[in-house]
Amino acid sequence: GNVIPAGANIYKTSDEKSITHGYLIKNDKVVIFDEKSSPEGHKWCHIGFKGKKDIFAWVPCTSIQLTNE
C-alpha cells in the first residue's frame, strides 16, 4: 500500500495543534481511511498502521507516498 517516505509525526485530529509524541518511520506502510482539508487548505489523511500496537491517527497527506502495491 501507501508508505511514509521520510517519517511523519502523527496527530489526534486533522489539526496541527493536536500533535502527539508518536510518529511513523521511513517505509512504514499505512492504510488511508479518510481525507479532510483544514480551513487553511492543508490536506490531512486519517491512517491506520499495524505495528507492535495498531495506530489510528491523522497525518498530513503530503507525508504519504502512494504506491500501486
Question: What does the pLDDT look like over 29-56, one tens digit per residue?
Answer: 999 999 999 888 999 999 999 989 999 9
The whole model's pTM is what?
A: 0.89
* Residue 10: closest CA among 65, 49, 37: 49
pLDDT at 37: 95
For residue 69, the model assigns a pLDDT of 63
Nearest to 2 by CA among 57, 47, 51: 47
Please give the residue that has the higher pLDDT: either 69 or 68. 68
